[in-house]
Structure 1
Amino acid sequence: MTQPPPPPPNQPPQPPSPQPGYGYPPPPPPGPGYGYPGAQHNPYAQQPPAYGAQQPAGYGAPPPHPYAQPTQPLPGGQPGYGYPGQGQPPTVPMQPQPGPGGGRNRAALFIVVAAVAAIALIVGGGVWYARSSGDDGKTHGPVSSAGRTGGTGGGSGDTGGGGGKEKAPDDPAARMLFDVPLPRTDDTVVTSGSWLTDTVYAKSGIAEIVGYDPAEGTERWTVKLPGPVCSAAAHVNKDGLTAVVFQPRMPAKNSTAGCSQVAAIDLGAGKKLWTKSINSGDFPITFQNVTVAQNTVAVGSTDGGAAFDIGSGKVLWQPKPDDTCYDAGYGGGDRLVAVRKCGSYDNRKLQIQTIDPKSGKVISDYAMPDGVEYAAVVSTDPLVVAADVGDAAGDGSGVSDYFSLDAGTGKLLARIPAPGDTYGGRCDGISRIEGCKQVVAGGGRLYLPTEEHDGKGEYTKTNEIVAFDLRTGKPAGGRAEAGDGYTLSPLRMDGGSLLAYNAPPYNKGGQVVAVDGGTLKVTKLLENPATREVHEAETGLLPEYAEILFGKGRLYMSAVFAHKPSSVGTKEYLVMAFGTDG
C-alpha cells in the first residue's frame, strides 16, 4: 500500500501506543491531526493484530470419507504468517487443474511431523440483511458488508447497473445518528462482528453482543458471553440467525483462553441459541473462522472443519482422526465453499470445494495452482477466490491473483492478476478465509480499488475503482474516480450497482457512493459532517481495518478491537452511525 504524503511543518507529536493484551501487538498511534493536508487518511488506525505462527503437521493424500459420522480429530498446526518475496503475477487465462487423487475420496498414510505452537486470536465479522420488513415498510434482501463476501445472487454472467435498494436522497448531507464509546480496557480485546437487519444493528463489545435500534441507537438487547469474541460470521440467514466463535472465559493479561466456543445468535430475539465445542483428544479445538450458509454454521481450523445445524446445534460433521487433508475454513452465504488443504508444509496443495451445507457432499472441486499456500473466499455467488501465488504480491496484501470459478463444475473461468503496486484491497487467507477487504464480486464483475496515487492538489492522494469481467478476466473498461483527496473502497453490491465508501480529505467528511455496474458512473448517497471531532473519529475507522456497513441510507462504522485509551485525548468510538434526513 502506498503511504500518505508527509504533512507540512509543525506536525503535532505522535502519542504513545496503547498497551497490548491477549497476545496482540499494540494498536498503532493515530494519523496526523485534523486541519492540514496529509490528514485525510489514517492507514494505521484500528489495524488488525498480527497472527501467531505455528508449525503444521504433515499430510499425505486426501482421506476416504471426510464428512462421515463425527469422530475425534488429531491436532494440527498453523503455518507461519508473512508474504515474503517479489515477482510478477501470472497472466490470464489458465487451464483448470484436476484435484489430487480425484478430490476427497482417496485413502493414504497420515504422518504427523511437527508439533503445535501457540494459537493467536483472529479478527472477523460482517453483515447480511435479514429478509424482514423494515421501518420503511419494504423488505430488504440480504446484502454483504465491506470486505466480506460480496455479490449476492448476481452470478458471474449478468452485467449492468440499476435495480438496487439504495436511492440517492434529495440532500446527501448526513448527521450523526448515534455513537457508542469505545469500551475501556487495559488490554487489547477483540470486538469483531457487526450485523444489520431491518430491525436491529448489532455489534460485538467486550464479551458481549448488543443490539441497537438502527436509527436511534437505543439498546434493544444484550447477549453476554463468558469471554471475548474471536471471530464472527459475515452472514445472517433468512431467519435472522448468525454465529460467533468466542473464548470460554476472560483470559489473563497478554494471553488467550483459546477460541473454542461456537454459538448461534438470534438477532431478532436477541438471544444465544446454543454453544458447542469440538475436542481434539482431551482438548478443545481452537477455531480460526466461522461462517453461515443457509441453515449451517461452519467453522475451520488447522485441526480441520466442523459444522452445526444453526437452529439446534446438532453436529453435521467434524474432523476425523484419519484425515490426511483438512478444511482450513469456509465461505458462506447462499453457498458453502471449503478451502481444503492437503500435503506437507513444503508441498501444500489447496482445493476449493463447493459443498452441500447440510450433508457436506462435494458438489465441485478446483485445485489451486502450485505455489499457493493460502486462499481466501471473496464471494461464493459468484465464486471468486483470492490467493498470493508464489508470494508474488510482495506488499503484505495477501493477493497476487483472483480466480473466478464455476461453482457447479469447478471449472476455472478466469484468472485475474492483481499486482500489489497497482491495486488495493487485502485478503487474509491464513486464518480468516472470508477475510477480504475492499474487494467485491457481483453482477458478473470483480471490483478492485487502485492503489493511491498523487492527486491534483498539493499533498493530496486519490484513487479509482476498476472492474474485471468474471468470465473473461478482461478489464471491463472505464473507472470510477474518487475525486481529489478522496480514496474509494468497495463495500458491497446493491442490485446491479456497487456501493463504495469514499475516505475523505482533511477538510471534508467521508461519503458513501453508488457506482453503476454498467457505466461506472458515481452517485453520492451520503456525506458525513466535516467537523473536526467527527473527522478525527471517522479517520480512525476507515475500511482498511474497521467494519463499514451501509443500508437504508445509514452508515455504520465500527472498531474491531478495544484497547487502552490513548493519552492524546482523541475520542474513540466502538460505533459511529450516520444518516440523512431524506
Structure 2
Amino acid sequence: MTQPPPPPPNQPPQQGGFGPPSPQQPPQPPQPQPGYGYPQAASAPQPPQPPQPGYGYPAQQPNPYGQQTPAYGQPPAAPYGAQPQNPYAQPTQPGYGYPGQPPAMPMQPQPGQSGGGRNNTVLFIVVAAVVAIALIVGGGIWYASSGGSGKKHDTASSSGGTGGKDGSGGTGGGQEKVPADPAGQLLFQAPMPTANDIVRTVGSWLTDKAYVKTGVAEVSGYDPVRGTKLWTLKLPGPVCAASKHATAENRTAITYQPKWDTAKTVAGCTQIAAIDLDSGKKLWTQTVKSGDYPVDYQNVTVAQHTVAVGDTDGGAAFDIDSGKPLWLPKPGDDCYDAGYGGGAKLVAVRHCGDLDNGRLLIQNLDPKSGKVISEYRMDPGIDYASVVSTDPLVVAAEAGSDSQALDYFSIDNKTGKLLAHISAPGKTYGGRCDGGTRIEDCKEIVVGGGKLYLATAEHDGNGEYSRTNEIVSFDLNTGKPTGQRAEAGDGYTLSPLRMDGSNLLAYKRPPYDKGGQVVSIDGGSFKQSKLLENPATQSVRQAETSMMPDYAEILFGHGRLYMSDVFASKKGDSYDKKYLVVAFGPKG
C-alpha cells in the first residue's frame, strides 16, 4: 500500500507535531498540564530575563536560529490510538493555574536581517520581561490587551474553507449571520463505506449547490440539506490527495491511483485530475513521468487557476480549465518542490542539496509561470515545513527536539523577509501539521486579519473531571501575543476552523451531555456569537464526537456544519456503527 496507516475506528491521532504517528504504543490518557499563560504588557522597558522552568518554556533553552538544530520530522511519541476519554474515568488533578505554577510566556524571537544575497535570517531569541503576572481566577487566566502594529494583512484561512478579504482584524464581520435561534438538527448521515483494506477518504468541499466528499474510489456530491446524492464520479482506484482549495467556478483537483494495490504490485498515486464540484464532471487527467516511470504525487493544491503537485521527483503544474502543462520537473535539477500551498497565492516548499548539506526554501511563485517572486531560506536543521497560509504567508516547522511543538514563521510575500517567528510549545498549544509528507495538511491552525489563531492545550475546568481550553492569537508582524482570548466554557474545547471575513469561526467539542457548537469570534473584540448548537441526543452526539477535530474534516458554511472521516473501514471490522459524513443545520 502507498498510504500511511490510518487510525483504528474512533481512535484519532494525538495533536501536535509533524510526521506519521507511531501506532505501536498503547493509548495514553491525556494528563492535565500546569496552568499556562503569558504576561501582561510591560508598563516600562525591562532587561531580558533568562528562561525559567515552568509551563510555556521548552525543557531546554533553544539554540538561536542560524545554528545547527536537530532535524525534525520524527514520529510523535503518542500513537493514533488515543481514545476519547470518559469524563468520569479521569482521576482528580490539581486545577488549572494551581498555586505554585507561575504562568510563563513562550519565547518570541525577533526577525533578523538577511545577508550575503540570502534570506538566511538569524533569529535572536528574546525573552520578554515578566513585569505583571497574569491574574489567575477560578481556573482561568486574564490577559492584558495589547495593540496591534497597524500593518494590514489580507485574510486567509486554513483547515478548510475560504475566508474573506477583510484584513483589518476589526469588526468587519463575515457572511455567516447570527441566527435568532441557533438550535440545530441533524440534517443527514452518510454511511461509512468499506473496502478490503483501510482506505483514505481525504477531501471535502462545500459549494452553493453541493457538499462534496471523497469515498472509496469515488467522489460524490450530496444535496447540502437533504443529503441525497446528486452525482458520483467513479474512479479506478482510491483518492490519495485532494486540494483544500477550489476556484471561483468551483473547480478543484485530486490525485488518485490508476488501480488498486495488490499483494504483488503498488499502483502509486500517479493520476492527476481536475473535477467540477457542481456537476461531478472530471475535466481532465494527467500524469508526470520521471524517466520511464510515472511520479507518485501525495501533494496537490489549487492556486487561482493552477493545479500544482509536488514530490521528491519534482513539482509540476497544470491549467485547471484545460489541463495544459505549465511546468514539469527538470531532469538533473538538485532541487525539487516537495509540495505547494495554494489558495490566493502559490507557495512552494523546495528542497535543495543532499541530507548532509541541504537547504529548505519557501518560495512565493507566479501561478501561471512558476517564476519565483520571493524566497525565504529556512535555517539549517529544519528539513521539513508545512504551509499554513499563503496570503499572508505563514509556514510551520518543528525546530528542535520537541516533536509536539510547532514554530510558525510569518514571511513577507513580496520580499521574502521574515516578519516574525512564533514558538508554540506542544504542552501549551494545540494544532498539528504533517509536514513530512503532506505539505498543506494542518489542523486547528488558522491565519487571518494579520493574526495567527491557536487553541491552547486542554486543561482542567471548573467542574469535577471537566476539561476545557481557549483560543488565543498572535500578531504576524511582531510575533507577540495580542492579549485576545476566547474561552471554550466548562466542559467544551475550542478548535479554530477558518476565517469569515474578519471573524474567526470555531467549533466547540461538547461535554458528555451536550451537543457541539459553532461560534463566530469577532476579530476585534473577541466576543463569541453562537451560530449553531447541535442536538444533545445520545446517538447523535456519539456520531458527532466520533469526528475528532484534530483529524476529521470539518466545514461550516451557509449556517450548516459538515463533519467527515478521512478513512473508510475495513470489511469485517466489528466496531460500532460509523459514518462517513455527519451534517447539521438550523431547524425548519
Give the TM-score, by structure 1 length: 0.77
Residue aligned with 1:243, SS: strand
Alignment deviations for residues 8-64 of structure 1 (CA, whole Å, 9 cap, x no partner): xxxxxxxxxxxxx76543633536xxxxxxxxxx6679xx99489xxxxxxxxxxxx
Confirm whether residue 280 of structure 1 aligns to residue 290 of structure 2. Answer: yes
Alignment of 1:27 with 2:36, yes or no, is no
**Is 1:93 matched with 2:99?**
no
2:536 to 514, 526, 530: 530
Answer whether contact 2:469 2:493 (CA < 8 A) is retained. Answer: yes
Separation in 1, partners of 2:161, 2:554: 13
**In the aligned structure 1, how far is the partner of 2:435 from the partner of 2:474?**
22
Q: Is this contact kept in 1: 2:73–2:398, CA < 8 A? A: no
Partner of 2:403: 394
Deviations 1:90-131 (A, max 9, x none): 63212154698789xxxxxxxxxxxxxxxxxxxxxxxxxxxx
Q: What SS does the aligned partner of 1:390 have?
A: coil
Distance 1:527 1:288, change over 3 A: same
Residue 455, structure 1, aligned to residue 472, structure 2: no
CA distance 1:377–1:265, change in 2 (3 Å): same
Distance of 2:362 and 2:454 partners within structure 1: 22
Deviations 1:379-404 (A, max 9, x none): 1111111111134x332xxx521111
Correspondence list, 1:140-179, <5 A:
147-148=159-160, 152-154=164-166, 158-179=168-189
Which deviations, in whole Å up to 9, do the C-alpha atoms of 1:491-521 show, x marking residues without a partner?
0000110000111111111111111111211
Partner of residue 248 from structure 1, selected from 258, 261, 264 = 258
The aligned counterpart of 2:224 is 214
Partner SS for 1:340 = strand
Q: Does 1:194 align with 2:204?
A: yes
The answer for the alignment partner of 1:559 in structure 2 is 565
The corresponding residue for 2:146 is: none
Note the C-alpha offset of 1:292. Answer: 0.3
Q: Is 1:82 matched with 2:74?
A: yes
Picking from 323, 347, 350, the partner of 2:360 is 350
2:582: which partner in 1?
576
Aligned to 2:463, what secondary structure does the other structure show?
coil
Conserved 8 A contact 1:298-1:305: yes
| Distance change (3 Å), C-alpha of 1:253 and 1:453 | farther
Offset from partner CA, 1:514-550 (integer Å, 9 cap, x none): 1111121111111111111111111111211110000
Residue range with higher mean Cα deviation, 569-578 or 301-310: 569-578
1:389 alignment partner, SS class: coil
1:427 to 2:427 alignment: no
State the identity %. Answer: 60
Alpha-carbon contact 1:148-1:378 (below 8 Å) kept: no
Cα offset, 1:298, TM superposition: 0.1
- Rounded to whole Å, the distance in 2 between the matches of 1:216 and 1:49 is 38
CA contact (8 A) 1:97 1:366 kept: no
Once residues 581 and 389 of structure 2 are traced to their aligned partners in structure 1, the CA distance between those partners, rounded to angstroms, is 26
Distance apart, 1:295 and its partner CA = 0.8
State whether structure 2 residue 268 is matched by structure 1 residue 262: no
Check conservation: 2:111, 2:420, Cα contact below 8 A.
Answer: yes
Are the aligned partners of 2:339 and 2:350 in contact in 1 as well (CA < 8 Å)? yes
**Offset at 1:321?**
1.1
Q: Which amino acid aligns with 1:93?
A: Q
Q: 1:154 to 1:368 in 2, by over 3 A?
A: farther
- 1:518 and 2:528 aligned: no
Partner of residue 133, structure 1: none
What SS does structure 1 have at the residue aligned with 2:400?
helix
Residue 233 of structure 1 deviates from its aligned partner by: 0.4
- The structure-2 alpha-carbon separation of the partners of 1:423 and 1:80, relative to structure 1 and needing over 3 Å to count, comes to closer
After TM superposition, give the deviation of residue 478 of structure 1 in Å: 2.8
Q: Counterpart in 1 of 2:28?
A: none
Is 2:223–2:229's contact at 8 Å kept on the other side of the alignment? yes
Q: 1:96 to 1:262 in 2, by over 3 A?
A: farther
Moved over 6 A (4+): 99-103, 142-145
Q: Structure 1 residue 334 and structure 2 residue 340: aligned?
A: no
Task: Give the direction of change, closer, same or farther, for the CA distance of 1:187–1:80 in structure 2 (3 Å limit).
Answer: farther
Q: Which ranges in structure 2 are unaligned for 5 or more consecutive residues? A: 23-70, 78-104, 121-153
Distance verdict in 2 for CA 1:268–1:23, change over 3 Å = closer
SS of 1:534's partner is helix
Cα distance in structure 2, aligned partners of 1:419 and 1:44: 15
Q: What displacement does 1:185 show? A: 2.0
1:384 to 394, 402, 413: 394
Mark the CA change 1:152 to 1:333 in structure 2 (over 3 Å): closer, same or farther.
Answer: farther
Distance 2:310 2:348 in 1: 9
Residue 181 of structure 1 is matched in structure 2 by 191
Give, as a single letter, the amino acid of the residue that structure 1 aligns with 2:193: P
Residue in structure 2 matched with residue 60 of structure 1 by the alignment: none
Tell me the CA shift for residue 353 of structure 1: 0.7
1:292-331 to structure 2, matched below 5 A, reads 292-331=302-341
1:497–1:320 CA distance, 2 compared to 1 (3 A): same
Q: How big is the shift at 1:410?
A: 0.9
Q: Is the alpha carbon distance of 1:409 and 1:222 closer, same or farther for their aligned partners in structure 2, counting shifts above 3 Å? A: same
Distance 2:511 2:161 in 1: 28
Q: Which amino acid aligns with 2:456?
A: T
Going from structure 1 to structure 2, the CA distance change for 1:318 and 1:429 (only over 3 Å counts) comes to: same
Give the conservation status (yes or no) of the 8 Å contact 2:272–2:285: yes
Change (3 A) 1:213 1:532: same
Residue 549 of structure 2 corresponds to 543
Partner of 1:483: 489
1:41-80 aligned at under 5 Å gives the runs: 50=20
Equivalent-residue separation in structure 2 for 1:365 and 1:287 (angstroms): 24
Runs of at least 5 residues in structure 1 that lack an aligned partner in the other structure: 1-20, 32-41, 53-78, 104-141
> Hey, what does 2:214 align to over in structure 1?
204
Secondary structure at the counterpart of residue 417 of structure 1 = strand
8 Å contact 1:559–1:573 — kept in the other structure?
yes
Q: TM-score, normalised on structure 2?
A: 0.76
Distance 1:146 1:560, change over 3 A: farther
RMSD: 2.8
Across the two proteins, how many residue pairs are aligned to each other? 479
Judged with a 3 Å threshold, the aligned counterparts in structure 2 of structure 1 residues 513 and 254 are, in CA distance, closer, same or farther, namely: farther
Preserved contact between residue 155 and residue 450 of structure 2 (Cα < 8 Å): no
Q: Which SS does the other structure have where 2:464 is aligned?
A: coil
